[in-house]
Structure 1
C-alpha cells in the first residue's frame, strides 16, 4: 500500500540523480594522459586525424604545442619517425602533434593544400586551413593546450603549409619554423608571425634560388619553387622589418664522411618586437630535416648534422608567446 508521501520521495530521488548527472557532465575534461594518442575529427566532410605526443613530465596544463607537418607523399607517422621532434618534447615538456594530410592510398602518400602545391590536396582544394583551425580548437579543449603557445613547423610541402597557416591563422600561432619549403605571402598586411626558416642552398628538390624542381618520384608532377631569399624578404617586410639584407649572427661547420657542410644563421634588421625573421642557410645538405638519420639520399640528397633542427626550432619557439610577444621575444 503506497502512502501519499511516496511519490514526492521518488521525485526527490530522481531530481537528485539528475543533478548529479548534470554536475558530472559539467566537470572540466581531464587532461590527456602521457603517451601517444590518435586524435580524430570530421571536417568539411572528411575524417581527419593527428598523432598527439603528451610527454611524461609536461608540468601543469595548459601546455605548449608544436604542430609538425609532413612533406608531400608522407604521412603523420612517417614525419614522427623521421623528425623525432616528440623526443625533444619529452625532455622539454611540450606536446608534439603530427597532423595527417589527405589523398594517397592505404594511409600513405598524403599532401597538404598550400595553395599552388601540392598533389591531391591542392587539386581538390582541400580545406586544410580549416582543418588545422579545428584541430587547434580541439587541442585547446582536450589537452588542454595553451592558446598563447601554439607553434608550427614542417618539411617541404609541410613547410609550405606552415607558411600558408602563418598567413591565414597568424593570430593563432606564436611562431613558425618551416624547413626546405617556402611560399611568398600573398597579402601585405595581416598579423606578424615570428619566422625561423631552414633551407640548404644545395637542396636538389625545393630549389633555393627558385625554379622548376624535378618530378616527384614515379610521376611527371613538378613544382615551381619561389626563390628563398626574395620570399623571406617579403615575409620580413610583411612583419614590419627593415627591407635590408639579413645580417650574419652565427656560423657553424660540420665535417662528415668525405664532406663538409656549413650553416649560417641570418637575421633581418629592425623587426618589431615579436616579429623577428631568421634564416638558417645551409650548404652541402640536401632536402632534409637537419639532425635526422639519412633517408632516401638518392632522391633527397645528403643528410646533415651541421645543425640540429629540433634544438634550433625549440630554442626559437620557447621564448615566444602569441599574446605577450613583446615581453618574451629575444629580438
Structure 2
C-alpha cells in the first residue's frame, strides 16, 4: 500500500543523495510532468548504467526518463561508485571494476533507495521494476535474485548474469535483450574483444537457462521472427519461455541479430559500441513488459 511522503517532490528532475555504508550515494529521479499521479501511487523503474559510465550518461544513452514522462512512471537512475565522477561501476557478482574490488554493497544501496523513495513521492510498492545496460543489466539480474520480493519484473539489456546460479524467493518475470554482435559482453560468453574489464563473462544462454529453471517456466520456447521495419542490417527473434501456471513466471529473450552493445532504438554516440537496431524500441518493449506484472498480482 502506498504511503504519503513526508515531503513530496514536485514533477520534474531531481538530483538526490543518500548516505549508505559511510558513502554519499547519488541518484536522479524523474517524476512525470505530463501524466497525473495514479491513484495507487507511481510505478517506479530503476535504470542502471553500464560499467565505466554514470547515471547522467545513462539518461542520455537510453532516454527512458522521457518515455516515462508520457507513459506514466517514475524513472530512477542510481549512480554506481568509482574514483572518477564519470566512470562508475556496480558490484553485480563477478563484475565490475571499483565496486567489485571495494566490495561495495550495491544491494544494500538499492534497499536504502527503496526505503527512501516513499518519503519523497507516492510509490506503488507492487509496481517496482529494474532494467539496465551491460554491468547495469547484471545488476538487474542480481536484484531479481536477491530482492525478488521487492521487484515485480526485470529487463536486462546487453548484460548477462554475474553469478553461477540464481535462487530468487519467488519467480520473477524476465525480459532480456542482447545483440549477437556484442563485442563487450559476448552472446556466447567469454572475454569480449572490446571489453575493458577482460572478464570471462557468462553467456546469454547461461542466464536464460538459470532463470527458466528458477521461474519454473516452459523449457521449450515459442519462437517469433519480428517484422523488420527498418533496413539497418539487424533482425529480431523473440523466444518466449512461457509460465506453466501458478508459481511460475515467463522468461522472454529478444535476440538482436547484428546488434551491438547498444540500447535498441537509441542511436549510440560511440561507434565502438557497434550497430544499434531500429527494428526494436527498448523503452517501449520494456515498459509494455513491465506493465503486465505487479507483486501479488
TM-score, with structure 2 as normaliser: 0.92
Instruction: Report SS of the residue matched to 1:212.
Output: coil
String of CA shifts for 1:194-218, please: whole Å, max 9, x gaps: 100000111111110111123545x
Alignment match, 1:138? 116
1:228 aligned onto 2:165: no
1:302 aligned onto 2:279: no
Where structure 1 has 5 or more consecutive residues not aligned to the other structure, the ranges are 1-26, 325-331
Displacement of 1:144:
2.0
Change (3 A) 1:28 1:314: closer
Change (3 A) 1:152 1:101: same
Give the counterpart of 1:153 among 118, 127, 131.
Answer: 131
Partner Cα separation in structure 1 for residue 159 and residue 190 of structure 2: 13
Alignment match, 2:19? 42
1:87 aligned onto 2:66: yes
Displacement of 1:236:
0.9
Partner Cα separation in structure 2 for residue 157 and residue 194 of structure 1: 20
Partner Cα separation in structure 2 for residue 58 and residue 234 of structure 1: 39
Where structure 2 has 5 or more consecutive residues not aligned to the other structure, the ranges are none
TM-score, with structure 1 as normaliser: 0.83
Alignment match, 1:289? 263
Change (3 A) 1:144 1:270: closer
Partner Cα separation in structure 2 for residue 249 and residue 285 of structure 1: 17
Change (3 A) 1:76 1:189: closer
1:129 aligned onto 2:102: no
Change (3 A) 1:30 1:291: same
Q: Map of 1:1-331 to 2, 5 A cutoff?
A: 29-56=6-33, 57-60=35-38, 62-105=41-84, 107-183=85-161, 186-188=165-167, 190-214=169-193, 216-217=195-196, 221-242=197-218, 244-256=219-231, 259-273=232-246, 275-297=249-271, 299-324=272-297
String of CA shifts for 1:77-124, please: whole Å, max 9, x gaps: 00001100011101111000000000031x110000011100000011
Alignment match, 1:9? none
Partner Cα separation in structure 2 for residue 189 and residue 319 of structure 1: 19
CA contact (8 A) 2:61 2:268 kept: no
Change (3 A) 1:252 1:195: same
Higher share in helix: 1
Partner Cα separation in structure 1 for residue 245 and residue 204 of structure 2: 22
CA contact (8 A) 1:208 1:228 kept: yes
Instruction: Report SS of the residue matched to 1:192.
Output: coil
Displacement of 1:247:
1.6
Q: Highest Rg: 1 or 2?
A: 1
Partner Cα separation in structure 1 for residue 169 and residue 110 of structure 2: 18
CA contact (8 A) 1:72 1:158 kept: yes
Partner Cα separation in structure 2 for residue 77 and residue 293 of structure 1: 17
* Alignment size in residue pairs: 290
CA contact (8 A) 2:166 2:211 kept: no
